[in-house]
């Protein structure tokens, strides 16, 4: 209990520090560092040289300085613009800020929560089972919302023991699943799908998905189709839009979007 309390106090202290001093300006969506750039710390943040990683947040006032021809750093900025920085840009200072107010700081907290522990962690190949109890962090109890007209839904899970079996409306899908991940074809005309997943050890999870809702209107400054929009959407209605946010990221198809989709889908 004491450790939990100390961790909470530390988090609150750090959160206050970030809110007071750091103004988030965007995310790293692509990194290609050649030669000396790979080890020199090409991003200057508050006097400290850093080597940015995919999906890292950048802040207003950070300076990017690439020196090697062929090195690039791609960013999604606060207004949704995608930019790619090269050595020809020299020492470039990042300017911008997410919209002020509580909503933007909720976004920052959401990003920190989803990407916590990123560090040097490798991305698990094909999202193989990680052991432990079978669970689907990308879905919540009480119904999950899918936007109108979506024909396919990608689902994944963690834990349990392969092989897995899936059912829709009480009817088993053909075959077994050797690893997490499947694409569900939405039954034509259906407004609701009841999904069940079981594993080789008898673990079972059940969720419902509901089709036909309009996407919630994004707050000012959060452009639809961006990583920030997906993060924001994943937190709406107590997580009921998380599955839809993941579909949007996978449709984006970029390395950063796919990695963020995986993080959201498997973050307990």
Query: Which domains, and CATH codes, for the chain?
Result: 22-97 (no CATH), 128-266 (2.60.40.10)
Phi, then psi, of 179 in degrees rounded to 5: -155, 165
List pLDDT tens digits, range 106-145: 455 556 566 554 443 333 333 334 446 999 999 999 899 9
Q: What is the pLDDT of residue 97?
A: 64
Do the strands 144-147 and 204-213 form a parallel or antiparallel pair, or are they unpaired? parallel
pLDDT digits (tens, 9 = 90+) for 24-51: 888 899 999 999 999 989 999 999 999 9
The DSSP annotation for 79-115 comes to TS-EEEE-GGG-EEE----PPPSHHHHHHHHHHHHHT
pLDDT at 139: 97
Report helix, strand or coil for 141.
Answer: coil
d(CA 22, CA 7): 21
Q: pLDDT tens across 209-254, in order?
A: 999 888 999 887 788 889 989 999 999 999 999 999 999 999 999 9
pTM: 0.78
* β-sheet bridge partners, residue 172: 167
pLDDT value of residue 248: 96
């Amino acid at each position: 209990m004491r450790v939990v309390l100390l961790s909470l106090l530390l988090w609150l202290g750090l959160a206050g520090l970030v809110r007071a001093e750091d103004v988030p300006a965007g995310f790293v969506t692509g990194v290609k560092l050649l030669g000396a750039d790979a080890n020199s710390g090409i991003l200057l943040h508050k006097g400290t040289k850093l080597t940015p990683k995919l999906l890292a947040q950048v802040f207003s006032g950070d300076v990017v300085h690439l020196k090697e021809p062929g090195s690039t750093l791609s960013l999604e900025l606060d207004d949704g613009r995608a930019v790619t920085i090269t050595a020809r840009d020299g020492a470039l200072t990042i300017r911008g800020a997410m919209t002020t107010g509580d909503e933007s700081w909720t976004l920052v907290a959401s990003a920190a929560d989803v990407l916590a522990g990123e560090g040097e962690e490798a991305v698990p190949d094909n999202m193989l089972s990680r052991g432990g109890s079978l669970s689907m962090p990308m879905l919540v109890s009480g119904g999950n919302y899918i936007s109108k007209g979506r024909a396919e839904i990608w689902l994944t899970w963690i834990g349990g023991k392969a092989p897995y079996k899936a059912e829709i409306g009480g009817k088993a899908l053909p075959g077994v699943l050797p690893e997490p991940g499947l694409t569900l074809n939405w039954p034509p005309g259906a407004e609701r799908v009841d999904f069940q997943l079981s594993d080789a050890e008898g673990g079972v999870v059940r969720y419902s998905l509901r089709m036909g809702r309009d996407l919630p209107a994004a707050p000012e400054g959060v452009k639809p189709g961006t990583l920030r929009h997906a993060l924001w959407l994943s937190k709406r209605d107590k997580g009921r839009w998380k599955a839809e946010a993941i579909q949007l990221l996978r449709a984006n198809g970029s390395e950063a979007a796919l990695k963020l989709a995986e993080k959201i889908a498997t973050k307990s």
